[in-house]
Structure formats: structure tokens, C-alpha cells
Amino acid sequence: MKKILLLLLISCFVKQTAQTKLSIMFYNCENFFDTIHNPITKNDEFNPSAESQWNTKKYKNKINHITQVFDSIGIDKNWPDIIGLCEIENITVLNDLINKNTLNNKNYKALVSTGLDERGINVGFIYNQKKFDCIASSEINATNIQLGDYKTRNILQIELKFKQTNEIIYFFINHWPSRRDGETVTEVKRIYAAQVLKENITKLLAKNNNSKIIIMGDLNDTPLNTSVLNELKAVETPKENTAELFNPYYEKAKANKGTHENRGKWQLFDQIILSQGFLKTKGLKYKQGNAFIMDKNFVMFNNKKTGEIKPNRTYGSHFKYYNGYSDHLAVYIALEY
């Protein structure tokens, strides 16, 4: 009898422990378009008649691969509770992901930006409606026309209430301007995006210094770059009672870890950053060591001839189809309560 009671107690403890964690992830999906031509945006590269030959079969393969990544990150046989995404076309592709949920859980809802990007790529957000209520959502323009003729993605801001603790959490989903035209030349655009984001975060912290804020995205800069470290003020060890943010990926960048590889060089562009409210003991909190890069074998390409290992992407140069996952690795964190 004592053994049975002990086993029941252990079982309850394990179950309770599993239920006291939230998983939060971000993933750059690499050109996640549907197959329908949009005459408003310049997405001619991704349709059946384009050089990419982007058809229904390839689209379904992409959905299967993305959901496989989600499945591998979630806690307690579920998807992550919060999923931030970029390089997605529209709400249709996110709803198709939810409908394909291989874990048969349809309690998720999607939101998507409607930004200015000429290619029609946006940022998206999926959340578990069983655990969160959506209070509000809005978009923040991160384009500065004084810096030149360019249009970047809007920042998606979402306000959720976590039902378990009744806490309000603010999310900011980002995809800052790329380095395609050169890191130095384009840096000013990312600095501007960081300034705009910081301005909005500062307003929230001014109302409540303990506000719980989560910033996630492909920033196209690392935790060590000016835009993130000096403008956004996302640091390894924030000073208490300041507007400094905590970046759990700072130490990974110092250790030369990365989420994107280009010409043999790894860069940690994809990050999840937290306000100091998550470092305190009340409610949802972050514990050291609970930030991760999803680098399981199935999302990696291993060139056995050269020994090169990098993300297993969907397309290579000149639209060579690899049927991979993405040219970025997902990042995710666990929060406890």
C-alpha cells in the first residue's frame, strides 16, 4: 500500500511539474508562401509557373516540415504554447499549419502582420487559446523613408492574458531589414527598427516596471551588434530598476553558436528577449539555462564529403529545390510558474 501511495505521489508530482512550464518558440520559415499568385505583392517567385515551380506538393511538404519542428519542441505532447514566425505570406498558410497539427490539437489561433514588404512576407503569431486570451493586437511601422527607398516588415504587437496566473504578457514579433546589400550599409535600418521597438517597450515599462514583455524575431543582427546590445539594450545581465532587457542568447553568441549559416560563418540572428519581470519570483519566470536552439539532426544538412553542417533549407541558389526545412534554426525557451 505504501509503495502504491508513493507511486501515486510521484506521478502527481511529475504531472504537476510538466504542467508548470510554457514553451515559447520563434522560427524563420524561409519563404513560406501559398501557391496562389498575389497581384499586389512581388511574390512571382513562388507559384507553379515560376522558376521555383512552387506547387501544391511542395507546399504540403513545407507544411509537414514546419509542423514536425513544432512537434519536436512542445511540452507534454503538444505544440509550443506560443509560436512566433517570419517569412510567412498570409493568414492562410498559418491556418493550414494549424489544420495540419499532427498532435490533433486545434486549440490554436493565428495572427499575421500586413506589412509593407514588397515581396509580401510578413511576421506571424500562433497561440494556445486554452491557456491565453487575446486582449489586443496591432502593428508598428519599422520603415524609415528618410533612410532610402525600402520597405520592411511591420512589428506585430500582441497583448495576451495568461489564464493560469491572470498575468498580461506583451509580445513583439520582428523581422528586421536584411544584410543583403551589405552589413554596414544596411545597419542603420536595423538600428532604426531597434529604436522604434525600444520606444514602444519603454512606454510599457514606464507604466509598470514589472511588465512582462517578450521580444522575438529574426533581427538580422546578433546579440553582440549595436542594434540589439546598445539600442534595444538587450544584455546578458541587466541592471535592476532600469529599462535594460535580458537576452538569454547573448552567452550563446559569445560561444559562437548560431541559427543561420552563410559561407561557413554562423550568426545568431534569431533570438527571444525578455523584460526583467520574468527574472523575478512571482508568476511566470525564466530560469537560467532554459533557452535553446533547435538543431536536431533532421533540420540539418550534413555534407559527408566536406564535413560541412548547416540548416537543411528548402531552396538553394537558382531555386534548386532541396525539400528541406529552412535556412534558419528555430529558437525556444521554457517559462515556469
In the 8-state DSSP scheme, what is residue 89?
-
Q: How far apart are CA 85 and CA 326, in angstroms?
A: 12
Collapse the DSSP code of 319 into the 3-class scheme (helix H, G, I; strand E, B; otherwise coil) and give the result: helix
Burial of 309 (0-12, 13-18, 19+ CB in 10 A): middle
Collapse the DSSP code of 194 into the 3-class scheme (helix H, G, I; strand E, B; otherwise coil) and give the result: helix
Q: Given this model, what pLDDT does residue 4 score? A: 53
In the chain, the domains with their CATH numbers are: 22-336 (3.60.10.10)
Tens digit of pLDDT for each residue in 192-251? 999 999 999 999 999 999 999 999 999 999 999 999 999 999 999 999 989 999 999 999
Q: How far apart are CA 179 and CA 189, in angstroms?
A: 10
**Contact call for residues 321 and 312 (beta carbons, < 8 A):** no
Q: Given this model, what pLDDT does residue 2 score? A: 52
Residue 132: strand pairing partners: 162
- Judged by phi (left if over 0) then psi (alpha if -120 to 50, else beta), residue 30 lies in left
Give backbone dihedrals phi and psi of 16, rounded to 5 degrees, phi first.
Answer: -65, -40
Tens digit of pLDDT for each residue in 84-137? 999 999 999 999 999 988 666 779 999 999 977 878 899 999 999 999 999 999
pLDDT band per the 50, 70, 90 thresholds, residue 287: very high
Q: Given this model, what pLDDT does residue 15 score? A: 41
